[in-house]
Amino acid sequence: MQRCDHCDLPLIDAPISGADGDGRYCCYGCQMLDETVGSEAVDESDATLAPLLRRTIIGLLLAGFTMVLSLAISSEYGFEALRNLEHAVGTAHLVLVLAALPALILLGVPVLRAAWRTLRQGQLSLHLLFALGTSAAVAVSVLSYVRGTGPVYLETAVMLLALYTLGRYLTARSKHRARRVLGALLSVPDTTYERVAPTNDTVPADALQPDDRIRLHAGDVVPADGVVEAGQSFVDARQLTGESTPEAVSEGSRCFAGTHVVDGTLTLRITATGADRRMEHIESAMQEALARPSRLARRTEQIMRVLIPGVIVLALGAFVGWWMAAGAEKALYVALSVVLITCPCALGLAVPLARVLAHGRASKHGVLIRDGQTLLDLHRVRTIAFDKTGTLSRLEAAEVQVEAVALASAQESVPDPEELLQYAAAVEASTHHVLGRAIQAAAQQAIEADHPPAAHDVHTVPGAGVVGQVDTPTGPRRIGVGSSALLDRLEIEAPPSGAVPSAAGRVRLFVTYDDVVAGVLLLAEQPRADAAPALDALRNHGYALQLLTGDQPEAAQRLGDALNLPVTAGQTPEAKIEALARWREADGPVAMVGDGINDAAALAEADVGIAVVQGAPVTLQAADITLYRDDLRMLPWLADLSAQTTRIVKQNLAWTFAYNGIGVGMAVAGLLHPIAAVIIMAGSSALVTANSFRLRRLRPPEWSESA
Q: Which residues are catalytic?
A: 387
CB–CB of 107/59 below 8 Å? yes
CA angle at residue 514 from 509 to 516, to 5 degrees? Answer: 60
The amino acid at residue 264 is G
* Residue 510, strand partner residues: 482, 520
Q: What angle do CA 416, 420, 422 make, to 5 degrees?
A: 120
Q: What does the DSSP 8-state code read for residue 195? A: E
Three-state secondary structure call for residue 59: helix
- Indicate the residue type of 581: A
Among 549, 546, 563, 533, which Cα is nearest to 634's?
533
| One-letter-per-residue 3-state SS of 321-353 | HHHHHHCHHHHHHHHHHHHHHCCCHHHHHHCHH
Among 344, 290, 295, smallest CA distance to 129 is for 344
**10 Å Cβ neighbour count for 671?**
11
CA dist., res. 482 & res. 682, Å (int):
64
| C-alpha dist (Å) from residue 464 to 482, 509, 531, 550 | 6, 10, 25, 8
Outline where DSSP puts E strands in 473-585.
475-482, 507-513, 516-527, 544-548, 567-568
How far is residue 410's CA from residue 408's CA, in Å, rounded to a whole number? 6
DSSP 76: T
d(CA 287, CA 284): 5
Q: Shortest CA distance to 333 belongs to which of 668, 561, 600?
A: 668
Beta bridge pairs of residue 394: 526
Please check whether residue 367 is in contact with residue 634, taking contact to mean a CB–CB distance below 8 angstroms. Answer: yes
The arrangement of strands across the sheet holding 544-548 comes to: 367-369, 625-627, 608-612, 590-594, 383-386, 544-548, 567-568
Distance CA 299, CA 295 (A): 6
Alpha carbon distance 573, 13 (integer Å) = 39
Contact 212, 197 (CB under 8 A): yes
CA 306 to chain centre: 30
Q: Using DSSP bridges, classify how beta strands 213-216 and 266-272 pair: parallel, antiparallel or unpaired.
A: antiparallel
